[in-house]
Amino acid sequence: MELSLAHPAIKAFMCGSLSGTCSTLLFQPLDLVKTRLQTLQSGMRPGSDRVGMVTVLLSVVRTEKLPGLWKGVSPSFVRTIPGVGIYFSTYYSLKQHFFQDRSPGALGAVLLGGGARTVAGVFMLPVTVIKTRFECGRYSYSSVVGALRSVCQTEGTAALFSGLTATLLRDVPFSGIYVMFYSQTKASLPKEISASPSAPLANFSCGILAGVLASLVTQPADMVKTHVQVNPQMKTVEAIRYIYMENGLQGYFRGAVPRALRRTMMAAMAWTVYEQMMAHIGLKS
């Protein structure tokens, strides 16, 4: 089937890409702080996530200046612009195919969100690996293309797919849980709010609630994913054991505060912008 720029799935891709660009640029510093917190050595263990977050933030600004907070934004853009576009276009296509004009229930929303994230996550995993390495501060890559070339030459192509299991265990449940809570809370809003000029703000609030819940549930998988991608010789099971031996159960929630802030705000903004843009071009999201 021939696709054109007028095809609804292409429009959904473009709306998703633009929404992802805005949210990535705004919240990249939180992602960098989260990655630095998760890759701290045992002897540098912060007393709490809040203290650790502030300490890492000030340390980055002091040693790498203010622009250092946006380190890794290039691979973030390379990942997010097509990645969020793929996610939303897949979500839109699946929804139109299986649900057409009716709204999905709670289980349907979980399957839609999880299915769309699986496709986008697998496709964009190599860039996700590079992004994590940029942010952790242990690698001296000069560009995304150079980093991809370096990994392929020194570690093999398989290293670009390190952390696949942990990534899917993190992203698929997050997206499924997020879409479920988001769609259900939005559907429970009074009709006068949904049809009013304040609808985007109400939708954004629903997105924040959904994002907080989904972030907390999937935080341990994010911690494991970061360790595997920064240390490609480490298997998922080894990372799980290492984190527990080093920090106990609380170790799986290191970096939870900046991650929850970033993922929640990014998801809420991306969905709000996506839905407003889809409505503007006359498509039902």
Digit-coded pLDDT (tens) for 156-199: 998 899 888 888 988 899 999 999 999 999 888 888 887 788 88
At 41, the pLDDT band (50, 70, 90 cuts) reads low
From 16-20, 57-61, 81-85, 150-154, the region with the lowest mean pLDDT: 16-20
Average pLDDT, the chain: 84
For tokens 């809570």, the residue is 181
pLDDT, position 46: 44
Angle subtended at Cα 194 by Cα 96 and Cα 190, rounded to the nearest 5 degrees? 115
- Is 149's pLDDT higher than 70? yes
Q: Tokens 């939180």 sit at which residue?
A: 30
Q: Give 107-110 contacts, CB < 8 A, sequence gap 24+.
A: 109/176, 109/179, 109/180, 109/182, 109/183, 109/184, 110/176, 110/177, 110/179, 110/180
- Count CA atoms closer than 13 A to 285's CA, side-chain side: 24
Asked if pLDDT for residue 44 goes beyond 60, the answer is: no
Question: What's the gap between Cα 154 and its chain centre?
Answer: 27
Name the token pair of 15.
């709306």
Distance, CA of 75 to CA of 172 (rounded, Å) = 21
pLDDT of residue 121: 92
User: What domains sit in the chain, N to C, each tagged with a CATH number?
Assistant: 8-280 (1.50.40.10)
Q: Of the given ranges (20-29, 37-46, 243-252), which has the lowest mean pLDDT?
A: 37-46
Distance, in Å, from the CA atom of 154 to the CA atom of 267, rounded to the nearest integer, reads 35
Rounded to whole angstroms, how far apart are CA atoms 173 and 8? 26
pLDDT of residue 50: 45
Integer Cα distance of 170 and 180 in angstroms: 16
Res 43 pLDDT > 80? no
